[in-house]
Structure 1
Amino acid sequence: MELFLDQFFNLDVMARALPFLLQGLWMTAKLCAAVVLLGLVGGFFLALGCLSPRRWLRWPSVVVTDFFRALPPLVLLIFVYSGLPFAGVQISPFLAVVLAFFLNNSSYYGEVYRAGIQSIPRGQWEAARSTGLTQAQTIAWVILPQAVRNVLPDLLSNTIEVVKLTSLASVVSLGELLYSANMARSLTYNASPIMLAALIYLVLLWPLVRLVSRFQRGLAA
């Protein structure tokens, strides 16, 4: 038992590794901010494309959405980071991660938006248009606020997945939280930094998980 605690819960090792992990946490925060923001915007336009009455716009949007939902994010990340240089496109690890996860998460956010927009009765569209609102104004002021409220738990759940997904960035040696913890482990020959990283993820994500559960219960009621 003492050996287990020394190897996984060594407080001295955790204290020495903490500054290094906080630097990785800052990189994780920047990654999440970029991917979530771009994913929300990209997903919105993908949803509009999938719902468009114009086939030339609807079908490409559906194909893009299905393709990036089916493709494993790790495969996509390795392709962007290691494959694009063969085509003469040099890209930094940070941009590679942002681009790969943006493509992946836009498709998921798009499906969430689409479900929310389709949950709004058609009468709401017609009533808004009858007041003189344009199509864009109807979507922005009438449909989208209601749609987001209906699917808010799903949007939050997907955002939680984005935070966990950033741990894959360690594959391309980007200094996010998990990569920093793993480097600290290799320097200290102790697994306590990995446990500390897990605790940081838990502290950050547990409140969001509880918030999602609360929203889900509220919508069910």
Structure 2
Amino acid sequence: MQQHGAFSQRTKTTTTRRLGGLAAATACVAALGLSGPATAQASSSGPSVSAGPVTLQYSCKLTDLGTVFNDPWTAEVSADLPTEVAAGASVPGPAVTAKVTTGADAADQLRALNVKTLEGTSAAGYSLAGAVTSPGARTASLTVPQVAVPDTGVVTTTASGTGAAETAASTPGTITVSVGDFTADLTTDSGFVAHVGCTLNPDQDATLGTISVV
């Protein structure tokens, strides 16, 4: 692949930077992910159920190096959300899980650069709409546990974390939680930290779940 060839022509210092960057990108989408909704169980909420999973595709790049990956990445996102909450009730942040799979080109480059493991954190964007006191964009902090880069195939990571606490509106309605873009800071086995940015591809339904406010 073209990016692989470019890496092989770099100096040792540049190769080390890209090695870390590629590892970051690979883990990122998990970090993807992605994303976390903002509503969950409150003292006056209904039973908690698993919302999703919603499977989405992203375009990812290394923001510090300018490297763009051609193959899309996939994030499978789910979260614990209550089925309903009382009007005006406090809604604690939910537990979020994002399973992310890299594109083939990113995985191949990681192996070519002899990357063995990667791990880190992700700032996952999401949004709230409808019957919530402050609708709009949010960010959930996710952790990407260390994962080994396989000898063949794509790289899959599973990130987890918690979304922000919210307050339901004072009148009945519906809260809609949607997944958004994300960034990640990932560390490779060489100790290099790289920065990744992933953008949700267009024409997808990114709705993770809804909560009834009664």
The question of a shared fold, defined as TM-score above 0.5 by the shorter chain, is answered with no
When normalised by structure 1's length, the TM-score is 0.29
Question: Which has the larger share of strand?
Answer: 2
Larger CA Rg, structure 1 vs 2: 1
Question: Which has the larger share of helix?
Answer: 1
